[in-house]
Amino acid sequence: MADREHRTVFVTVGTTCFDALVMAVDSPEVKKALLQKGYSNLLIQMGRGTYVPLKVSGDATLQVDHFTFSPSIADNMRTASLVISHAGVL
């Protein structure tokens, strides 16, 4: 596979617990869609959640990583090609 531009999707739930969002972006369907759109990395900030994302995609071409908290996510947001967050829960 030819090298492609490093494009990261950063998902953040802040200090909350939002397992539904983390589980959704960790799904094979979403990972496949991200690959099809040209993204190479998925970084998930999972907050207080209990669901732990898988570190690989189905075919291991999307690099997946996660963490709970960081003193600052400003650099993650600044360097990401796409940021996904939540706007609350109904």
User: Strand pairing partners for 11?
Assistant: 44, 84
Residue 26: pLDDT above 80? yes
Please give the torsion angle defined by the CA atoms of residues 51, 56, 58 and 61, in that order, rounded to the nearest 10 degrees: 150
- pTM of the full structure: 0.87
Residue 78: pLDDT above 80? yes
